[in-house]
Amino acid sequence: MSAVQELTYAAAAALALQQAMEADPNIVALGEDLGRGGVFGQYRGLPQQFGPERIIDTPISEANIMGAAVGMALAGLRPVVEMRVIDFALCAMDEIVNQAAKNRYMFGGQGRVPLVARMPIGIWSASAAQHSQSLEAWFAHLPGLVVAVPATPQDNFSLLKASLASGDPVIYMEHKELWGQTGPVDTTLDIPLGRANVMREGADLTIVTWSRGVAPALQALEHEALRGVSVEVIDLRTLWPWDQATVHASAAKTGRLLVVHEAVQVAGFGAEIAAHTAEATGCRVARLGSPRIPVGYAQVLENEARLSPEKIAHAAKTLLDRA
């Protein structure tokens, strides 16, 4: 079989988990709806192959699921914790913040919590405010956690494998509307956590984004507002650790940095990237995120919170036009 396959974002993750579980009997998965392959098909085929002892259907109690996973990890297993969507993970914040993130530090390295918590982020069409949040900045803020935000099927395969191999708790944030996206996946390609992907090279402006922001950022380059402008587009891939060297080198070259994310702009992780890069390089910076409003159910309201190529192009043009 060829090492390169055309896979959906969901199938790429399922394949990565399958291969890891075949190689390591200590990897288990637990959460709601796993027995039917997951809400988005991201566990399809795995219950049949590994059985209920390793693909574990749980009651509807996120605090219980996460607490059990932390205990499993401390006892030597490597659990994959399915939260269904990040909005539901808020019921498990104590176990994440005070147990998983802090255990290694508080016990001087004697305890390790090598779990992967899958928390799909982002706007989910017509699902309104309680099912459409992008809360990655919450977790990037917490010492002790790794935060991954894959944007493509290849990244969802390679970053999930890297996360499963990590000895630390990883908050793994797939986007709710990327599951059906297809693309080539090289199953031999290793992508380390903390390495960004330069999607397009340019000389006039740097755009840094991640997850669902990547596609509209690339589409924005075709907008008439950016005609004749050479734009570098960087997919960060992980928010912690984030690839400071790649971003700084690009911003130093172009002199301008626009950070784009679907999350609310106020106190979003884009502010950290912008401030850190401006301090390091002296570049001009701007941010584009969602307004500080709940995501509406009506499409006209939902669109106010969505990124679009037009919004990105106009934000980029505004930054370019600044004296």
Structure tokens at 264: 């609310």
Question: At what angle are helices 153-165 and 9-23 packed, to 10 degrees?
Answer: 30
- The HSE-up count of residue 301 (CA atoms within 13 Å, CB side) is 12
| Residue-wise pLDDT tens digits, 87-144 | 999 999 999 999 999 999 999 989 899 999 999 999 999 899 999 999 999 999 999 9
Q: What are 13-71's pLDDT values in tens digits?
A: 999 999 999 999 999 999 999 999 999 999 999 999 999 999 999 999 999 999 999 99
Least confident piece of the model among 115-119, 126-130, 246-250, 290-294: 126-130
Q: Which residue(s) pair with 147 in the sheet?
A: 171, 240
- Parse the chain into domains and list their residue ranges: 4-186, 197-321
Residue 243 in tokens = 């690839």
Q: Is the domain 197-321 a CATH 3.40.50.261 member?
A: no
| pLDDT classification of 1: cutoffs 50, 70, 90 | low
Dihedral angle of Cα 107, 136, 24, 9, to the nearest 10 degrees: 180
Distance between CA atoms of residues 269 and 277, nearest Å: 13
pTM for the structure as a whole: 0.95
Detail the DSSP E strand segments found in 129-282: 146-148, 170-172, 182-186, 197-200, 205-209, 231-235, 238-240, 256-264
For 167-221, write each residue's pLDDT tens digit: 999 999 999 999 999 999 999 999 999 999 999 999 999 999 999 999 999 999 9
Q: What is the DSSP letter of 175?
A: B
The continuous run of DSSP H or E covering 82 comes out as: strand 78-82
Q: Which candidate in 131, 223, 248, 261 is catalytic? A: 131
Multiple choice CATH, 4-186, 3.40.30.10, 3.40.50.970, 3.40.50.800, 3.90.1150.10: 3.40.50.970
Query: Per-residue pLDDT tens for 58-83?
Result: 999 999 999 999 999 999 999 999 99
Three-state DSSP class for 113? coil
314 is catalytic: no
Residue 5 pLDDT class (50, 70, 90 cuts) = very high
Q: Is the pLDDT of residue 2 over 80?
A: no
Positive or negative torsion for Cα 83, 88, 91, 93? positive
Equal CATH topology for 4-186 and 197-321: yes
By CB atoms closer than 10 A (0-12, 13-18, 19+), residue 185 is buried
